Structure 1
């Protein structure tokens, strides 16, 4: 039989006459434990499952229900224990072998919004952005908008965070890795790059959609960092105001990189001694400044002053800003006050 495992009680999430759902930790691992029915009045049986940090955050943010946590993720470990044996906030759990029976599982569609108590480590978002929605939308349209808007937001958030010397070293390491670990030679390099950015910032700065009112006119409420929301809005407005000149600058640099086969060259193969390095850096900086991109020097530092990687990232940001700005230019999306 597998060894027992010790866990520490952190907080009660659902309480109705007794604790029904509790949060535990075993070293750094999260566990969620659910009360189950038993025949012995002198015992309080629970079933617990380990939860990865990613899944735990998804559950607390309302993106997955509790049944998903207990049934779907691979690599889970499940345990049973008697809450009556809790001592000094510590409990010994017995590994559960095999598939959990239906009687042990939570009902479908139970989300964190139904908790009666807040998480002990609850994260309070720093700000709220309200985006007004109008006109006609197909389902793929909103997904495309939110994806591009998120890319711009996280790009600004991570460069701002890296510029802050008071940030935890682990956060700065995640951000640095996102900017230096991709080949940037086209295709999925950029998808992976933008997907890696959220890991470098705190949960309270990450985007979380709070409410959607689909009617036309309607609105979307998004939680995140207020300063980054303001920077994102400024970039979108700057793009709309300067789109003609920006388009010309983009095509000039893109054409130069294409003709000289730099678009398909991995970033690490581009040496500082390349004769084209000063020209590429100059043109990319010109686009960044015309966009009114903050923290340009920080961005160059993040890519270790590699002119080609700097240029490719600026061009990729241009493309995402272009797609985001079009929704505002069409009148289907509009900025409103952030403090609502």
Structure 2
């Protein structure tokens, strides 16, 4: 993250997949020591977004997750050793804005535009609902797609885990704040912008963003339109199971009454995510701390947004430019 004649501040991944922040210092007997912490997700996210200084991240890390590693070692595996890191806290005033090497390269591909033709009567709230659902679906889909094992975007991974764990998932407020945060995060990583609106009969809404993200969301919309009954059936089955368990409006601490019910909900949720083309569903489950109830609610919320857009198509008020 910071390199001046060698790494001064680095992001590391341990062999148990834990993320560490390490900064260079001097310790007698070490060749090139990095003082490391395995930070709490929400504090790492706040640091990466420039909202928290590095010293505070270290101060708020449990002492059992503080280490030193010698990157000059010739060993095949670099051991993490305990260290009294209170003696080696970073200086005040270090923020992610001083990074010389960005963690995530922005999407350098040419901006892609997706046009949606509109017809009939559209009020301001219709435009808001259409774009809001599209932006929600695009944002979650983009982050999920970036959670690829081995090449995971650390920024997206940490952000998603913190965003999920910081909410109780009891009702509408959790979903609104979650998707609001996701869209804000995406503005600097995979932004979606309204490129043009022309309102007459027919008119169009044109958005600009990642080609892969927009195409995959558009494909999900078409899938729901073509087999809506199948999607509604599996959506209803998952909701019914959660409702019967008292989990639909419960917070994330509530558990299933039996493992067989949990396994059923997990299987159906995986199936729905796959039908929708939502990528890396197994990594989304991990981001949900393997809480199947939260994972199910997240996938159900994604379907509701895709289905909400599909409703405009089924009403005849929206269609793709290449549609007859």
Q: Same fold (TM over 0.5)?
A: yes
Q: Distance in 2 between matches of 1:202 and 1:178?
A: 16
Deviation of 1:329 after TM superposition, in Å, equals 2.0
Q: Is the 8 A contact 1:161 1:201 kept in 2?
A: no
Residue in 1 that maps onto 2:191: 206
After superposition, where does 1:1-340 map in structure 2 within 5 Å? 126-163=111-148, 165-166=150-151, 168-201=153-186, 203=188, 205-270=190-255, 274=259, 276-336=261-321
Q: Is the 8 A contact 1:126 1:205 kept in 2?
A: no
Deviation of 1:206 after TM superposition, in Å, equals 1.1
Q: Under a length normalisation based on structure 2, what TM-score does the superposition of the two structures give?
A: 0.61
Deviations 1:71-92 (A, max 9, x none): xxxxxxxxxxxxxxxxxxxxxx
Q: Distance in 1 between matches of 2:271 and 2:189?
A: 33
Residue in 2 that maps onto 1:46: none
Q: Distance in 2 between matches of 1:187 and 1:242?
A: 27
Deviation of 1:167 after TM superposition, in Å, equals 5.5
Aligned alpha-carbon RMSD (Å): 2.8
Give aligned pairs, total. Answer: 219
Q: Under a length normalisation based on structure 1, what TM-score does the superposition of the two structures give?
A: 0.58
Distance 1:147-1:202 versus aligned 2 partners, 3 A rule: closer
Q: Is the 8 A contact 1:175 1:200 kept in 2?
A: no
The alignment partner of 2:204 has SS state of strand
Instruction: Please identify which structure carries the higher strand content.
Output: 1
Point out the structure with max Rg over C-alpha: 1
Q: Which runs of 5+ in 1 are unaligned?
A: 1-52, 55-120
Deviation of 1:259 after TM superposition, in Å, equals 2.1
